[in-house]
């Protein structure tokens, strides 16, 4: 069993598991942090961005006037943003049989994998994962296509040039594999390969293994996966949460008794407690609005935003923010808000029960009804006529490189009254803000990451007790910036197996058993003999028939009676006689009784020597040795066949035959 | 004694002696005993006053079918009676004592099993043992052995009572050896206690022998007995005079040493109590000193820390041992924070290794650190010769621990990282450390740390994970440090900016507790007066937050959804503005807005707290405003104030909350004080009637100081009275008088009496004055309280109608449907204020708490019980 690790990002994993004869891809995360190296895509012409100076190397030898711009001491690529894809060279992607998706954040690279690689398999995901994943992809494509950039910068990727570049650009890895966003057509094609599954539904793969999603409590429809055969069980734990937010709670008990547990998607903010951050978010928001400023919240269009809106729903009255407008701007804002209300079976119990009441599960419906929350597909159109300040705007993309958020950064960045509050943990806020410097706007970083923290995960592992744990190498040491926090790492016995991008791990468990079926008529013919109470044995002669990873024992077909042949009978044509197999022996030779028997046979001069495995009997008169060992008996007797036969028979008396 | 009670007592005794009766509730016997005790203490003889008791005792003792509760009561009663030598003799003559305390009798009747009886026996004997005869009786009856057995009784109450009793015997009868020794008074010699010394010596010998033999547990598990004996020893050694103490120490010394060496965890603290008790009474004893030294060197770190803490708490300074205790207590802090509190050149002792081991597991770690932290303030105050490090280093260590707890510790710290995970984010340690930090502000050299303290505290206030109590404690610490700060130049602008930002954020917090603490903090901060080097005295809020920051934040908090926060904001605003009121500064637009918002709260807020706070706001405004010349002042501030006072008086006295009403009356009192303070015969409310305040009554928090006028008002009482009426004071007082809440009515009644004494006595003096006073009248509404006052007045007038008071007739005819105008003076005289005051002063349960009512209850309950089918369920709550 092998694990190929195609992504180095611990929360956006992409691993391939070879297990029995199947090849299973676990998640398909797209590392979008690469976009931070690019200039933002403004929706409206931005004089500031267009006037940025080109970057020129100190000695003036490199001048990529069109490709690299400088802003506040950092260099950015002026091109359509590109993403860092999962590793494609480690194994042939066309051999992948199935892809298991655990949540909508971890499927953004799907079109890159399923299209143009020869992939012919199936993708399994839950319904909300597919629906919201599609919204995310649509939004991404929309953000990119809305602001087309004619040029695609490539010269800077030249290794010689990259080496000379400053700052993070110089250290970016595998830049030549970075790719632009996919098209809507590719999205549709990729998503057409998805087959929907429900929690705990068992899906057979080629009869060899069974896969089954379990609720992971992180987001709508998010799942962990169990991959098991008859005798082996692998658990794949991706983004999971034990907090009571909107999704169905995590199913922990089904993870028990795993041989291997692959652990990814822990919190990216182990020191930031989500509750504290939520409080921080609310108080900073209220503080800004009271002072007459606007609040910008760069966020994804689904997920934490539901919880933020729910929290604000309770908070705005107590903080006297009743009259402040809240705007949610995204090409998929409407769908996201509405879809969330119909996935009742995927919600936490509390919200599920609201389905039977005349009120929607999420209170954002009420915010919309009372006109406190308004949503728009983009800043163009209705929004511009209804826009009122001071206000709170939720919009994407959290990287601040594309989407409507770019416009608000340009609009509000100059005033210190306004505040930008980062709630998504995926991007470093300082890097995200880099191309907007100098910035007067106040910045607040309160990342809300509800995924498991180290404390919770070690409790979980203590409970489910997997034999081996595989995890990204980042989890096996404290964070670089907080090396004294030994509580922020996994400490297990045996220690977890770390992986990094491009690792290939031999998973440490041997397959020792295989299930074989026996046909009734064959079973009927067996003659079991009891070797000890409750245990019977029988010898079987049969034909092993293997098909679709199922193994069956069938009776040996009787040789067809020789067709009457006119030809001359030849001795050689006789079918080879099937010899009855020799009986199998079992049991041990008791020394004392054996010696007594020997004496009866007149063999008296026996010298017994003890060895590590048993005894050696030296029959001195006969000059013969008998080695009695645990798993074998040898009679060494030169040129005295009758004596050997006699001794053999004596030994056989003490053994059972099958 | 009340004659009525005496007449009821025989009946009650009969009821109690009857085994079939039931009592109103299980506290009635206790109350009865309390009453008897009170009678004895008052100097009466019980048997003389109630001869029936003797009969009662002998009847009950012979009736083993009695309820064990009644039997226990009887034993204790016997003890009480025999506490005096006369009583003792009388009981002895009737040979009642032998019967009552006869152990065998009770055991044979099978009643000894009941702990209630055993405790009655002990307590009865305990009450009796007040004179030498009793001791003789005690010794002759051989009660000592059973008493020693009861010391390890299965019932904790019995065991504890037996312990107390043993201590009592030894301490009470100890002979007086030298003058001035503690615990024994001179009077003892006159009692002839010395004559009993033979018996006493025997008792001492047996008890100390018993202590010696039973102190060290025979088996590893039998700690109970040792524990009891240690408790007894601690009791004894704390109070024993030298002969007894020396005798005890001499007898049990070996056993104590054995126990200390054995080092059982459960016994460490009680053992330490004993050693410390011995140590503080006989500091020079070599053996005791040795014991103490070994207690401060026991092997188990957790026990050792507790022992050291106990030693420090005793506060007896002894350089050697204090130094040792300090080292023990500082060690865990040293280990975790890596601050070399114990000096660098210490030889690593074995103890340190075991402390580090203990700190690695969570529960002992937290408990040990909390003990250390609690003691740090005291350690910092110990003389520098004893302290292994400068006191400032202790502050540094606490600060460092706080940083570790919040997870931001600098990596330069060399402390044990394995211990970190136990304390990171631990609220208990954080709270303890913050409390310690608050207390450390007064330790020597603290000022040089102020910048670091501010940094850590602001970081705590900013930390999103700090829970509300941690935040509250951080605020308290900040206040304390601010109040002791002498040089604010140490607090950098950067820190001030951070503080402003964090406070602004916290007033918007989601949790109301946090908003409340923040608002309170803002209020307190303005109360902390600081003197700066260059500038004159000003409040710390100006220094730290800047002048204009506080008020807008507080004004915003008036809109808070949580009533507590609104109330705190109002209180904080009052504190913030006090200074400008005192200086008579002109009213700002902002203040005017605040005032109208406050009046709105008073009239509309659904919760009581903010409304109470509003009234108090005006009280402090009124009392601190130096320019408040009623009506005569032309200042806008004063006129707004008087306008507000009028509406506060009318709205506050009509409020539903009794505390609001009481506060309103306090405001009225201030107005009265202000108006009449120059008059002869006027006693300020704060001087008069500060008599028994009701336990639930409102006591005004601050004593309001009034700025009395320069001019005297011997003349013009009439106009003053008219002013007071016009301000609405009279209406507030009259409505308060008929209020259904006792504290309100009481307050109003007292104020009205004061007013009557001022106004009416004056008017009695001269006829002219009377005539003019009579013209000052006050309008009563025809509804509610007005109607009630009119009713009272009419009733009184009809009583006086025969006297044909013409003026009153005239006034009566003035009455119209809407209400009535009455002469203030007349009303004050007619309302029967003194009778009302008598009724109101008595606590509302005075009837139910009298012994008479108790006796009646017992009789009634038994009567009800004898009538079949009528179950009386008495709620004893």
Share of chain A above pLDDT 90, in %: 55
A350 to chain B, closest Cα gap in Å: 22
Q: Please, what is the Cα angle at B499 between A268 and B535, to 5 degrees? A: 160
Cβ atoms of A308 and A394 within 8 Å: the answer is yes
State whether A282 and B508 contact (CB < 8 Å): yes
Mean pLDDT of chain A, nearest integer: 89
Q: Please, what is the Cα angle at A568 between A566 and A570, to 5 degrees? A: 130
B305 to chain A, closest Cα gap in Å: 27
pLDDT in the model for residue B681: 65
State whether A276 and B463 contact (CB < 8 Å): yes
Contacts of B92 by beta carbon, 8 Å cutoff, 6+ apart: B82, B133, B137
Interchain CB contact of A318 with B (< 8 Å): yes
State whether B508 and A287 contact (CB < 8 Å): yes
Q: In what order do the strands lie in the sheet with A468-472?
A: A203-205, A209-215, A223-228, A233-237, A260-263, A468-472, A497-499
Handedness of CA A401, A404, A410, A412 (dihedral sign): negative
* CATH of A274-445 among 3.30.70.2190, 3.40.50.300, 1.20.58.1610, 3.40.50.10890: 3.40.50.10890
H helical segments located in B338-416: 350-359, 362-380, 391-405
Distance CA A262, CA A466 (A): 10
Contacts of B666 by beta carbon, 8 Å cutoff, 6+ apart: B615, B619, B700, B747
Distance CA B376, CA A373 (A): 53
Distance CA B437, CA B374 (A): 10
pLDDT in the model for residue B634: 46
Counting beta carbons within 10 angstroms of the beta carbon of residue A644, is it exposed (0 to 12), middle (13 to 18) or buried (19 or more)? middle
State whether B464 and A271 contact (CB < 8 Å): no
Annotated domain spans of chain A: 2-267+451-506, 274-445, 585-657
Name chain A contacts of B407, Cβ cutoff 8 Å. 271, 482, 485
Interchain CB contact of A487 with B (< 8 Å): yes
Q: Which chain B residue has the Cα nearest residue A488? A: B421
What residues does A656 pair with on adjacent strands? Answer: A586
Nearest to A273 among B418, B465, B560 (CB): B465
Phi, psi dihedrals of residue B398, rounded to the nearest 5°: -65, -40
Residue A568 pLDDT more than 60?
A: no
Distance CA B565, CA B554 (A): 10
Mean pLDDT of A67-79: 89
- The CATH number that domain A2-267+451-506 falls under is 3.60.15.10
Interchain CB contact of A109 with B (< 8 Å): no
pLDDT tens-digit map of A86-105: 999 999 999 999 999 999 99
Mean pLDDT of A516-537: 87
Nearest to A286 among B407, B508, B562 (CB): B508
pLDDT tens-digit map of A195-244: 999 999 999 998 889 999 999 999 999 999 999 998 899 999 999 999 98
Among chain B, residues having any CB pair with chain A shorter than 8 Å are: 407, 409, 411, 413, 417-418, 420-421, 424, 463-466, 504-512, 556, 559-562
* CATH of A585-657 among 3.30.310, 3.40.50, 3.30.870, 2.30.30: 3.30.310
Q: Strands A295-298 and A419-422, how do they pair? A: parallel
Residues of chain B under the 70 pLDDT cut: 1, 176-196, 219-222, 263-264, 283-284, 315-317, 344-349, 409-417, 529-543, 546-548, 626-635, 680-681, 683-716, 761-774, 800-819, 843-849, 865-877
State whether A484 and B417 contact (CB < 8 Å): yes
Name chain A contacts of B505, Cβ cutoff 8 Å. 280, 283-284, 287
Residues 239-278 of A with CB under 8 A from B: 271-273, 276-278
Distance CA A244, CA A234 (A): 27
Q: Which of A98, A104, A78, A145 has its CA nearest to residue A12?
A: A104
Largest CA distance in chain B: 102
Q: Which chain B residue has the Cα nearest residue A482? A: B411
CA dihedral B854, B855, B861, B863 (to 10 degrees): -160
CA distances from A264 to A385, A643, B524 (A): 45, 69, 50
pLDDT tens-digit map of A4-24: 999 999 999 999 999 988 999
Q: Which chain A residue has the Cα nearest residue B415? A: A484
State whether B411 and A484 contact (CB < 8 Å): yes
Interchain CB contact of A456 with B (< 8 Å): no
Distance CA B291, CA A363 (A): 69
Element of type H or E holding A76 = strand A74-77
Cβ atoms of B498 and B513 within 8 Å: the answer is no
Name chain A contacts of B509, Cβ cutoff 8 Å. 279, 282-283
The predicted model scores a pTM of 0.79
Distance CA B738, CA B731 (A): 11
What residues does A68 pair with on adjacent strands? Answer: A77
Q: Which of A612, A595, A608 has its CA nearest to residue A654?
A: A595
Interchain CB contact of A477 with B (< 8 Å): no
Cβ atoms of B605 and B561 within 8 Å: the answer is no
State whether A319 and B421 contact (CB < 8 Å): no
Distance CA B483, CA B493 (A): 18
pLDDT tens-digit map of A374-415: 999 999 989 989 999 999 999 999 999 999 999 999 999 999
Q: Which chain B residue has the Cα nearest residue A270? A: B407
Q: Which of A271, A218, A216 has its CA nearest to residue A451?
A: A218
Q: Which residue has the tokens 């109330």?
A: B567
Nearest to A271 among B407, B511, B560 (CB): B407
Cβ atoms of B174 and B244 within 8 Å: the answer is yes
pLDDT in the model for residue B869: 47
Handedness of CA A596, A600, A606, A612 (dihedral sign): negative
Residue A119 pLDDT more than 80?
A: yes
Count the neighbouring beta carbons within 10 Å of the beta carbon of residue B803. 9
Cβ atoms of A656 and A586 within 8 Å: the answer is yes
Cβ pairs A/B, distance under 8 A: 65
Cβ atoms of A58 and A149 within 8 Å: the answer is no
Cβ atoms of A67 and A51 within 8 Å: the answer is no
Contacts of B591 by beta carbon, 8 Å cutoff, 6+ apart: B577
Name chain B contacts of A419, Cβ cutoff 8 Å. none
**ipTM given for this complex:** 0.77
Crossing angle of helices B301-314 and B319-337, rounded to 10°? 130
Say whether the peptide bond before residue A438 is cis (omega within 30 degrees of 0). yes
What residues does A215 pair with on adjacent strands? Answer: A223
């Amino acid at each position: 069993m092998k694990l190929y690790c195609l992504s180095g990002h611990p929360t956006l994993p992409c691993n391939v598991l070879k297990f029995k004869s199947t090849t299973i891809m676990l998640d398909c995360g797209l590392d979008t942090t690469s976009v931070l190296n690019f200039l933002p895509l403004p929706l409206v012409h931005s004089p500031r961005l267009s006037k940025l100076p080109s970057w020129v190397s100190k000695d003036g030898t490199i001048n990529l006037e069109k490709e690299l711009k400088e802003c506040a001491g950092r260099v950015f690529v002026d091109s359509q943003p590109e993403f860092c894809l999962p590793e494609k060279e480690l194994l042939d992607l066309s051999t992948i049989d199935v892809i298991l998706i655990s949540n909508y954040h971890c499927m953004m690279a799907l079109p890159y994998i399923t299209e143009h690689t020869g992939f012919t398999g199936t993708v399994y995901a839950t319904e909300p994962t597919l629906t919201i994943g599609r919204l995310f992809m649509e939004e991404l494509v929309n953000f990119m296509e809305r602001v087309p950039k004619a040029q695609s910068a490539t010269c800077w990727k030249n290794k010689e040039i990259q080496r000379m570049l400053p700052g993070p650009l110089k250290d970016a890895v595998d830049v030549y594999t970075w790719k632009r966003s996919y098209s809507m057509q590719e999205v549709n094609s990729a998503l057409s390969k998805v087959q929907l599954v429900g929690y705990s539904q068992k899906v057979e793969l080629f009869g060899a293994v069974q896969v089954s999603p379990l609720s992971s409590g992180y987001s709508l429809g998010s799942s962990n996966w169990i991959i098991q055969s008859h005798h082996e069980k692998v658990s794949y734990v991706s983004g999971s949460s034990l907090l009571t937010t909107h999704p169905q709670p995590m199913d922990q008990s089904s993870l028990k008794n795993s041989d291997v547990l692959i652990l990814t998607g822990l919190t990216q903010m182990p020191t930031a407690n989500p509750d504290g951050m939520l409080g921080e978010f609310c108080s900073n928001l209220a503080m800004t609005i009271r002072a007459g400023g606007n609040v910008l919240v760069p966020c994804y269009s689904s997920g934490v935003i539901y919880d933020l809106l729910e929290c604000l729903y309770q908070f705005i009255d107590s903080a006297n923010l009743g009259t402040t407008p809240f705007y949610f701007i995204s090409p998929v804002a409407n769908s996201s808000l509405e879809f969330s209300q119909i996935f009742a079976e995927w919600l936490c119990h509390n919200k599920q029960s609201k389905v039977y009441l005349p009120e929607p599960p999420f209170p954002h419906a009420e915010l919309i009804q009372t006109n406190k929350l308004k949503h728009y597909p983009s800043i163009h159109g209705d929004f511009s006529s209804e826009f009122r300040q001071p206000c709170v705007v939720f919009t994407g993309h959290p990287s601040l490189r594309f989407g409507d958020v770019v416009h608000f950064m340009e609009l509000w960045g100059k005033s210190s009254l306004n505040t930008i509050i980062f709630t998504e943990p995926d991007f470093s806020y300082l890097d995200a803000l880099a191309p907007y410097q100098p910035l007067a706007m106040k910045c607040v970083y309160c990342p809300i990451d509800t995924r498991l923290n180290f404390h919770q995960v070690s409790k979980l592992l203590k409970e489910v007790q997997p034999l081996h744990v595989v995890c990204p190498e980042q989890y096996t040491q404290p964070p670089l910036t907080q090396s004294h926090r030994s509580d922020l790492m996994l400490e297990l016995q045996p220690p977890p197996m770390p992986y990094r991008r491009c690792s290939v791990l031999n998973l440490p468990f041997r397959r020792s058993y295989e299930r074989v079926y026996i046909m009734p008529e064959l079973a009927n013919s067996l003659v079991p003999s009891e070797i000890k109470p409750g245990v019977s044995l029988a010898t079987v002669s049969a034909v092993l028939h293997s098909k679709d990873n199922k193994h069956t024992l069938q009776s040996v077909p009787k040789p067809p009676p020789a067709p009457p042949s006119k030809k001359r009978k030849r001795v050689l044509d006789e079918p080879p006689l099937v010899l009855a197999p020799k009986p199998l022996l079992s049991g041990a030779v008791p020394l004392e009784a054996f010696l007594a028997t020997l004496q009866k046979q007149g063999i008296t001069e026996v010298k017994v020597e003890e060895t590590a495995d048993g005894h050696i009997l030296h029959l001195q008169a006969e000059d013969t040795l008998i080695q009695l060992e645990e798993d074998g008996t040898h009679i060494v007797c030169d040129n005295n066949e009758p004596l050997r036969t006699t001794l053999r028979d004596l030994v056989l008396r003490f053994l059972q035959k099958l | 004694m009340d004659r009525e009670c005496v007449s009821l007592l025989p009946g009650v005794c009969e009821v109690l002696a009857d085994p079939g009766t039931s009592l109103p509730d299980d506290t009635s016997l206790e109350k009865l005993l309390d009453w008897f005790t009170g009678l004895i203490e008052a100097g009466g003889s019980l048997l003389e006053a109630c001869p029936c008791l003797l009969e009662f005792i002998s009847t009950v003792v012979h009736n083993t079918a009695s309820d064990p509760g009644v039997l226990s009561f009887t034993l204790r009663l016997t003890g009480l009676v025999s506490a005096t030598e006369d009583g003792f003799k009388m009981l002895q003559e009737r040979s009642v004592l032998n019967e009552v305390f006869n152990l065998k009798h009770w055991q044979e009747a099978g009643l000894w099993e009941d702990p209630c009886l055993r405790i009655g026996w002990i307590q009865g004997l305990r009450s009796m043992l007040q004179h030498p005869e009793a001791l003789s009786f005690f010794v002759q009856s051989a009660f000592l052995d059973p008493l020693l057995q009861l010391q390890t009784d299965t019932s904790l109450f019995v065991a504890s009572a037996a312990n107390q009793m043993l201590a009592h015997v030894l301490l009470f009868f100890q002979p007086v050896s030298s003058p001035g020794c503690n615990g024994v008074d001179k009077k003892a010699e006159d009692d002839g206690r010395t004559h009993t010394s033979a018996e006493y010596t025997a008792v001492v010998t047996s008890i100390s022998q018993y202590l010696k033999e039973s102190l060290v547990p025979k088996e590893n598990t039998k700690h109970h007995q040792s524990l009891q004996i240690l408790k007894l020893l601690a009791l004894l050694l704390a109070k024993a005079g030298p002969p007894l103490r020396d005798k005890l120490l001499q007898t049990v010394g070996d056993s104590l040493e054995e126990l200390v060496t054995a080092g059982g965890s459960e016994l460490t603290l009680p053992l330490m109590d004993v050693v410390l008790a011995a140590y503080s009474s006989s500091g020079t004893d070599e053996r005791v000193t040795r014991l103490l030294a070994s207690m401060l060197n026991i092997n188990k770190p957790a026990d050792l820390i507790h022992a050291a803490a106990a030693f420090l708490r005793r506060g007896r300074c002894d350089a050697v041992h204090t130094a040792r205790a300090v080292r023990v207590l500082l060690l865990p802090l040293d280990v975790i924070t890596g601050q070399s509190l114990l000096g660098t050149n210490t030889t690593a002792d074995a103890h340190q290794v075991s402390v580090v081991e203990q700190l690695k597991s969570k529960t002992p770690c937290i408990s040990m650190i909390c003990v250390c932290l609690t003691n740090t303030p005291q350690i910092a105050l110990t003389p520098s010769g004893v302290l292994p490090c400068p006191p400032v280093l202790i502050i540094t260590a606490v600060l460092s621990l706080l940083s570790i707890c919040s997870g931001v510790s600098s990596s330069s710290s060399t402390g044990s990282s394995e211990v970190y995970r136990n304390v990171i984010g631990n609220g208990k340690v954080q709270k303890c450390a913050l409390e310690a930090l608050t207390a450390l502000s007064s330790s020597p050299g603290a000022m040089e740390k102020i910048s670091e303290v501010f940094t850590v505290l602001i970081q705590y206030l900013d930390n999103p994970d700090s829970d509300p109590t941690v935040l509250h404690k951080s605020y308290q610490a900040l206040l304390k440090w601010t109040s002791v700060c002498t040089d604010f130049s140490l607090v950098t602008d950067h820190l001030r900016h951070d503080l402003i930002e964090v406070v602004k954020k916290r007033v918007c917090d989601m949790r109301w507790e946090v908003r409340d603490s923040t608002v309170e903090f803002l209020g307190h901060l303005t109360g902390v007066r600081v003197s700066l080097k260059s500038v004159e005295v000003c409040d710390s809020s100006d220094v730290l937050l800047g002048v204009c920051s506080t008020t807008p934040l507080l004004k915003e908090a008036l809109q808070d959804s949580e009533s507590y926060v609104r109330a705190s904001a109002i209180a904080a605003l009052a504190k913030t503005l006090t200074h400008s009121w005192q200086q008579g500064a002109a009213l700002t637009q902002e203040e005017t807005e605040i005032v109208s918002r406050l009046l709105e709260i008073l009239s509309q807020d659904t919760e009581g707290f903010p409304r109470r706070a509003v009234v108090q706001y005006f009280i402090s405004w009124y009392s601190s405003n130096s320019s408040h010349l009623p009506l005569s002042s032309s200042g806008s501030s004063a006129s707004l104030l008087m306008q507000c006072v009028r509406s506060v008086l009318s709205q506050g006295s009509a409020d539903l909350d009794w505390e609001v009403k009481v506060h309103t009356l306090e405001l009225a009192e201030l107005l009265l004080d202000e108006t009449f303070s120059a008059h002869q015969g006027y006693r300020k409310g704060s001087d008069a009637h500060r008599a028994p305040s009701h336990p639930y009554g409102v006591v005004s928090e601050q004593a309001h100081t009034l700025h009395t006028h320069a001019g005297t008002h011997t003349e013009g009482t009439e106009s003053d009275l008219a002013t007071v009426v016009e301000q609405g004071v009279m209406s507030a007082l009259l409505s308060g008088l008929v209020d259904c809440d006792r504290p309100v009515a009481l307050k109003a009644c007292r104020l009205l009496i004061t007013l009557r004494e001022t106004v009416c006595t004056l008017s009695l003096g001269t006829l002219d004055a009377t005539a003019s006073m009579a013209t000052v009248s006050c309008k009563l509404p025809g509804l509610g309280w007005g109607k009630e006052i009119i009713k009272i007045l009419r009733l009184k007038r009809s009583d006086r109608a025969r006297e044909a008071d013409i003026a009153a007739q005239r006034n009566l005819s003035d009455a119209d449907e809407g209400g009535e105008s009455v002469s203030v003076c007349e009303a004050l005289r007619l309302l029967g204020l003194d009778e009302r005051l008598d009724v109101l002063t008595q606590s509302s349960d005075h009837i139910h708490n009298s012994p008479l009512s108790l006796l009646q209850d017992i009789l009634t309950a038994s009567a009800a019980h004898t009538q079949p089918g009528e179950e009386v369920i008495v709620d004893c709550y």
